Structure 1
Amino acid sequence: MMEIGDRLKQLRLLQGKTQKEMSDGCLDRSFYSRVENNKNSIVVEDLISILRSNNISIVDFFNSFGETQPKNHIYQEMIETAFVEKNINKLQAIQRDATFTNQIIKYVAELLIVKLENRTNEYKKLREKFKKYIYHLDKWDEDSLWILAYIMFVYDFGDLEWVVDSIFNKFQHDRINDSKIVYLLAQISVNYLKICSKQDKAKAQVQKTLDFLDDLPNISEIALYKMYGICCQSTNHKKDYEIILKESGYERYFK
């Protein structure tokens, strides 16, 4: 079961903050560090002070210890829909939503706005925020996989290669029973194949990705992704695949 320290660290990383920034004005940083590592307990008054100081809902904090559906999923779906529809206004509304305090997911919305508006000069600033978040991850879960799937295009290829390899190494020998995790892994694989296609000397990474995609469970949710992997191995097949997508109304999801 998740402990209070684990939850504090998770929320701190999602806000892109250091331990000093998270505990500032509430606790000594070294003591806060021990709380995060579950080596020291924290009194209720100090915990509430930290949550309020960082605009974290007390209800949202404790929801993670029960069976309540995380708020993140709702906003992720809103961002996905807005991006596919190229609806910048909806993405901006998510950024302004004061009731949603997951700063990293808000950064994803900001990045997608920048992409839609073709402001590529702003990629570097956002890339550093995401690199900091990814670097401090303890594990790959549904939220972190979703974030990666939508920020991959802004990464330097060398850094991205390391990140994707860590995912492949984590999941390639696991029996994955969560269909959402499978879907996100397939999405990351296809995104990576597209990025690799623009790189010289990336054949080994392409083959590794194709093998990983092929080994994912054959569930209906990733049928199109599986098909894409097969078609990547043949130019003619890829052309046929693009025709199928266009006629089926799915083309825009793979642009």
Structure 2
Amino acid sequence: MTIGQLLKQYRIESLKTQKEWAGNTISTSYYSKVEKDQHRITAEDLIALLRANNIKLWEFFGKLSQEDKVKYDENRDIGEAINEAFYHNDKDQLKDIKNVIANSEIVDKEDQLLFIDALIALVGNHVEDLDEKERIKLKEKIFNISNFDENKLDLYCNLMPFYDLDSNLLISRRVITQFRHSGSSNVQETILGIAINMLIMCIEKSRYEETKFFIQAADQISTKPNLFFYKNCIFILKNIVNYHYGRKDEYLNKARMAIDHISSLGMPEYSKDMKDILDKYGKN
């Protein structure tokens, strides 16, 4: 049974119309095509749809045909759903996705489960909730990599909170040096993400001298439309660093302007995070 066929079965059993079943998740016309297998639904929308209709993910996926289950699990949309849940600090959704992965047949299932356990622990800053053995395994995955590839680079960016500052300084300088001249947009995004994380950590620990390397590395990456958000965050953090050395209110004003810009573009969570950093460390 395909995803579309199974959704239709659940909907009919619940005595709902397509409009009632789709709700505010996706348009009724699009959902109609999903039921007919004319369009595939993204992981993010499927999870939202099932949760809105009180359907357990692992129950739903257990009824899928093996072919459709594997096809879905291997699709990159599951990664997008994980990122979306993590961005919104939605621990319940991350747990739902974990159950989907646990009941899948993907080759790297154990690594995926370890990774999502790490993200669940990171939500709400509860790293201590992760078993010590799991933390060691996560760290070994990074330290045992002699040469980072694109996937491992992205993994490290997400798992940076599991390392102390000195370990992160060692790893991040190595990978940024290795990838700083890459022409890949995905790699450039990750490098900027690592630089942002390091600047925040250095500011929090008053290690301002260490920020120079990361600011210079970020500045060497040309600003492109897909990198604008990351560059905006770098701009905010750079002005907090500049204020530390120069004590000019213009630096704080520039940072506030950029934070307001993030909020106005519909990213309130990131805007709040940056504002908290500015309020806490902007006058230090």
Category of TM-score, reference length = shorter chain: 0.5 to 0.7
Distance 1:189 1:183 in 2: 10
- Alignment partner, residue 242 of structure 1: 259
RMSD across aligned C-alpha pairs, in angstroms? 2.6
Q: Call closer, same or farther: CA 1:136–1:199 in 2, change over 3 Å.
A: same
Distance 2:112 2:75 in 1: 8
Distance 1:76 1:243 in 2: 29
Compare 147-156 and 104-113 and name the one that shifted more.
104-113
SS in 1 for 2:233: helix
Q: How does 1:218-237 map to 2 (within 5 A)?
A: 218-232=223-237, 233=239, 234-237=251-254
Q: Call closer, same or farther: CA 1:127–1:238 in 2, change over 3 Å.
A: farther
Q: Call closer, same or farther: CA 1:131–1:120 in 2, change over 3 Å.
A: closer
- Alignment partner, residue 156 of structure 2: 148
> Mind listing any 5+ residue stretches in structure 1 that lack a counterpart?
1-58, 60-67
- Is 1:178 equivalent to 2:195 in the alignment? no
What is the aligned length?
186
- Alignment partner, residue 89 of structure 1: 92
Q: How does 1:1-255 map to 2 (within 5 A)?
A: 71=74, 73-96=76-99, 97=101, 98-99=103-104, 100=106, 101-123=108-130, 125=132, 126-172=134-180, 174=181, 176-200=182-206, 202-232=207-237, 233=239, 234-253=251-270, 255=273
Does the CA contact (< 8 Å) of 2:179 and 2:187 recur in 1?
A: no
Does the CA contact (< 8 Å) of 1:123 and 1:154 recur in 2?
A: no
The Cα shift of 1:124 comes to 7.0
Distance 1:253 1:117 in 2: 14
Distance 1:209 1:245 in 2: 21
Does the CA contact (< 8 Å) of 2:139 and 2:162 recur in 1?
A: no
Higher RCO, Cα 8 Å, sep 6+: 1
Q: Call closer, same or farther: CA 1:158–1:140 in 2, change over 3 Å.
A: same
| Percent identity of equivalent pairs | 17
> Mind listing any 5+ residue stretches in structure 2 that lack a counterpart?
1-66, 240-250, 274-284
Does the CA contact (< 8 Å) of 2:98 and 2:116 recur in 1?
A: yes
- Runs ≥4 residues deviating over 6 A: none
